[in-house]
Structure 1
């Protein structure tokens, strides 16, 4: 399932980096913190690799 907004895509990218160990988990906050705990690495990859062109800044 692809991300539905730029903010969601960005949060998924941050969560994915923390899950892989590239960034410390302590730097996460808000949605990215919840995503890191509740989603698998594969799901995060799908969200993070969504093309940003045409996406709204935030989901309504």
Structure 2
């Protein structure tokens, strides 16, 4: 599932870095911490690697 916003993509990237041991999991906050706990490395990679073109900064839901 690709990210729906730049913010979501960046959170997935931070969670992916922690999964790979490039960043400490204890440094994660908010969405990235939740993604780290609930998604596997393959899912995070797919979400973080999508193109940012035409993505909003934040995904506003009503």
TM-score by length of 1: 0.97
C-alpha separation in 2, matches of 1:24 and 1:2: 24
Aligned residues: 60
Unaligned runs of 5+ residues in structure 1 are none
Structure 1 runs of 4+ with >4 Å offset = none
C-alpha separation in 2, matches of 1:16 and 1:26: 13
C-alpha separation in 1, matches of 2:51 and 2:12: 13
Query: Could you give the per-residue CA deviations for residues 23-44 of structure 1, whole angstroms, max 9, x where no partner exists?
Result: 0011100000000010010000
RMSD: 0.5
